[in-house]
Amino acid sequence: MKILITGGCGFIGSNFIRYMLDKYHDYRIFNLDKLTYAGKGDNLKDKESNRRYKFIQGDICDAKIVDKIIPNCEIIVNFAAESHVDRSILYPDDFVRTNVFGTHVLLEAAKRHNVSRYIQIGTDEVYGSILSGSFTEKSQLSPNSPYSATKASADLLARSYFVTHNLPVIITRSSNNYGPYQYPEKAIPLFITNLLEGKKVPLYGDGLNVRDWLYVLDNCAAIDLVIHKGKIGEVYNIGGGSEVTNLRLTRLILKKMGKGKEFINYVTDRLGHDRRYSLNCDKIKKIGFRPRYDFNKALDFTVLWYENNKSWWKKLKK
């Protein structure tokens, strides 16, 4: 099996490539990544010499490079995206370009070359906010940030290629991931690394926004399952079953790192900040998914990883 992973030098993509190379010894992985500020070649340093792994630096918006790689691949998993909500509020252009136009380029190439699966990696943020209950895959899309609006657009484009062109598309929508190799602008690695540097952690608004947390290796296992057992044309929600307020998450991290509440810096709320995300994951459970990682223990491991890998994140925070 030959798989094209786009955005494989980012947080989830690099964890996924490592997971797949370690699990399937007869799979070959092609990683197409532009290496934006968020993509780091050294996220996969340990796999550089693996003969089943090939890195190609390039942009998913570049149809020529995409066309050169896709004929070698049976499956495409599109992780490549601009992924930080705060940046999308300030600088939305790259989000529209990569998340929407880039997805369009990949879908067109997938159609031309008859791939056997096209997996679009989406997010729970496309559903918007829900105060009680949980979103199913059939819930209306109500994205509230430029980031989530471009991700919803990508999902809809991908769906249209399934309906119109019979392209074998499957979409996953996961909740917030955490774990090793996450760029230290996202909440969990930002908080951990700030505390390691003796700095305060910025908490938006009243801190009562709720997020569901999914350990990155659980997401990798779920995407693997979707590739092999998912039904073409379907959407699968992937959640960790660990909903907490941002305030509770912050207190947990402070406690694990031996710091008090004086290390919290309450800052003006993010514009358009969604209050709560929550996913109903019955559909992916039916094909066999259960999150394996306990939130508390995986958070302990995550703290330890950033403690032990200071050289990895220190250069990113300069």
- Residue among 183, 210, 48 at smallest CA distance from 124: 210
Q: Which residue minimizes CB distance to ligand NAD? A: 10
Stretch that binds ligand NAD, among 6-14, 104-112, 197-205, 309-317 (CB under 6 A): 6-14
Catalytic, 147? Answer: yes
What six digits make up the tokens of 104? Answer: 């369009």
Which member of 81, 130, 190, 299 binds ligand NAD (CB under 6 A)? 81
Residue 312 lies near ligand NAD (rule: CB under 6 A): no
Q: Which is nearer to ligand NAD, 168 or 179 (CB)?
A: 179
Catalytic, 266? Answer: no
**Number of C-alpha atoms within 13 angstroms, CB side, residue 293?**
23
Of 33, 59, 82, 125, the active-site residue reads: 125
Stretch that binds ligand NAD, among 176-184, 188-196, 202-210, 249-257 (CB under 6 A): 176-184
Q: Which is nearer to ligand NAD, 15 or 194 (CB)?
A: 15
Of 59, 124, 218, 243, the active-site residue reads: 124
Min separation Cβ 216 and ligand NAD, Å: 8
Catalytic, 124? Answer: yes
Which single residue is written with the structure tokens 């302990």?
A: 300
Residue 236 lies near ligand NAD (rule: CB under 6 A): no
Residues contributing to the site for ligand NAD (CB under 6 A)? 6-7, 9-13, 32-36, 38-39, 59-61, 79-83, 98, 102, 121, 123, 151, 174, 176-177, 183
